[in-house]
Amino acid sequence: MTQEEMWRAVIKNDESYDGIFFYSVKSTGIYCRPSCKSKTPKRENVCFFDTAEEARNAGFRPCKRCRSDLMEYHPMKEIAAKAKQLLDSCFDEKRELKQGLRQLGISHRRMSEIFKDEYGITLHEYIKSRRLEEAIRMLIDTDEDIIDIAYAVGFGGPSSFYSFFKSETGMPPLSYRKEHRK
């Protein structure tokens, strides 16, 4: 790969070159990935390296923006994983769930976008699937009353639970329990 090709990748912030080479900026003393979104440096201040280690050995420090010292740095993936972990632990507790998502420091709308990009479904769809999984598990594995299951999986009352369950499985909870119990 020529230096001109690498320079074009830097100008375009081309992610496909990440890990193939690194560039450093003499005036700042840092090294970056080709995809770094920081201000494009002057060409005469740029040096290219095959590895991050070569850049460090030449006296450059990693960029704090693109985290050139980490091969796998995906902050959106980390945020989505934290949200998923939160959804798994408190999908049945609306107040706690809202508070937990708020503590991640991202608007609900942006969180929904990040989650969908990472997992292919919305936050709402994921919560629905978790509630359904847990309701099915409880119907099959426990003797709890349907109303108790409805509250346990996060519904405010039995009618909304019945409607939800029937629309998702095609049968009411009691029929499902009778048909699928071992």
Residue-wise pLDDT tens digits, 94-152 = 788 888 888 888 788 888 888 898 899 999 999 999 999 999 999 999 999 999 999 99
Residue-wise pLDDT tens digits, 41-92 = 999 999 999 998 999 999 999 998 888 887 655 677 788 888 899 889 888 7
Q: Go through the domains of the chain in sequence order and give each one's CATH number.
A: 3-62 (3.40.10.10), 75-180 (1.10.10.60)
**What separation in angstroms does the CA of 119 have from each of 51, 65, 115, 145, 181?**
31, 25, 6, 33, 31
Q: From CA 112, how far away is CA 83, in angstroms rounded?
A: 10
Residues acting as catalytic residues: 32
Against a cut of 0.85, is the pTM above it? no
CA of residue 100 relative to chain centroid, distance: 15
Torsion sign across C-alpha atoms 56, 27, 1, 33: positive
Q: From CA 154, how far away is CA 25, in angstroms rounded?
A: 53
What is the SS3 assignment for 18?
Answer: strand
What size, in residues, is the chain?
A: 182
Confidence band, pLDDT 50/70/90 cuts, at residue 179: very high
